[in-house]
Structure 1
Amino acid sequence: MRKMIFALSIGLIIGSATTAVSASTEAVQATIAKFVFKVNSQEKELKNDPLVVDGTSYLPVREIADLLGYELDYEDTTRTINFEQKRVKSNSYLELTEAPDLSEWINVLDLIRFYDGNGIKASLSGDNSVTNLNIGVYGVGFPLAFEDQYKQGDVPKLFQKSKGKLSMLVYKNNIYVNKSNIKDLGFPIEDEWMPAADLTKTSTKFDFSLLNGKEKLKPVFLYTEQGIIRAMNSEAGILLNKEDLRARGLIG
């Protein structure tokens, strides 16, 4: 019986096509082999046949990785092959054992109120099998019956999709989404901004002309004596970024 290995040398087949990545320019002779492949006693079929060189079998790595439940990534510049175990897709939730830090989360209804008043379409809807959250052009469905948000009690439940960009937390009859996720999608979080009108007892001068005609919730950079501070228009007036204000010593 021939030896079966993942070879990282002369004849390693990376892609789904029969392209070989060679560690040298040495010429070799290879023959196409036919094998029966089984994973957990279940027979599997390869699209690309293995090659046999000097009694050693060279397998199509990407296909083998897929059969074994791994994702393969190949970095051409460094000639690096990386295997990552695939995440199991699931419609289940993770029941948290401790109360979550709600400072990292925002109530979906507060999020929708803020966006709807400032020209960004946002909605929460669902049926007896899924709860849908839509923000702008982005939408995601979570495997939670819409009315079940009122039946969850005090046990926090976290819903995450393997390739999703948003996480949903159901806790004390409320639905929350992760603030970092929202910012990664390019949307602002209301409690990270404050009305410019509330910034009192400061001699700093602001030139808000850059905001003239600017869409709501579209930040611009203002140049002040203390440094750059982000600002944006909103239904409530001009908002200033709290993080920037703290960095410039304008608020505590």
Structure 2
Amino acid sequence: MMDLLRLYRARRWGRKLPFTRFLGYPLLGMAVGPEGALPSFPFLLYLVDGLAVTGILAFSYTFNDYFDFMLEGDSNYMGECIRAGKLTPRSALLISLLPLLLFIPSFLLPLPTLLLLFFFLLLSLLYSLPGVGINRRIRIKFLLSPFSAFLLMLQALLLSGNPTPSGWGLLAIVFLFHCYVNSFHHAEESGGGKILFKLFPLLSFFLSFFLFFLSPFFLLTPFFSFL
């Protein structure tokens, strides 16, 4: 079981982070989207959406691991299984596609959410496919992860209807937060970009100040901007 979790990147292996960290964004969208009491929450849609997002994330991480190993010899769990003879390259590629079965029920979702999920799936494919080279373009790679977090939260918000101004504000805060997190990876890879450590928290702070007039919830986000 642990081998399966590592293969699908649901569990950390070495320096490879699990995809589960991205599940927090659709969950946040589900939490702040609905208005009213619990019975009004679209629980069935939440379940279908959660399965679809999990399937896309598991696919995108393993699909990327496959090409990273096959083309660049990158060290990851799927590559180790191929090297040890536990998997053939063909079976490893087929295994990476299996999580997309969780995406099938997503056709029950509202059209705006479904289209955003398809768009997210397309971005995941383009990131990994050889010849496209998104993962080698530093600026695009830097923004892709925050944009993915933005998409995952937005598609979940849309399950409850059009986002409110406060919802859009929170989406912007989430985007800036993930840009801040990415600044650390960018600094490790390039050795520069330290100005970003101050830029994104500062932008988040001032944005939160103006958003406070929409909702007292944003009284919290200026504080967390500088944690």
Same fold (TM over 0.5): no
What range is the shorter-chain TM-score in? under 0.3
**TM-score (normalizing by structure 2):** 0.26
| Higher helix proportion (structure 1 or 2) | 2
Relative CO higher for 1 or 2, CA cutoff 8 Å, sep ≥ 6? 2
For normalisation by structure 1, the TM-score amounts to 0.24
Tell me which protein shows more strand as a share of its residues: 1
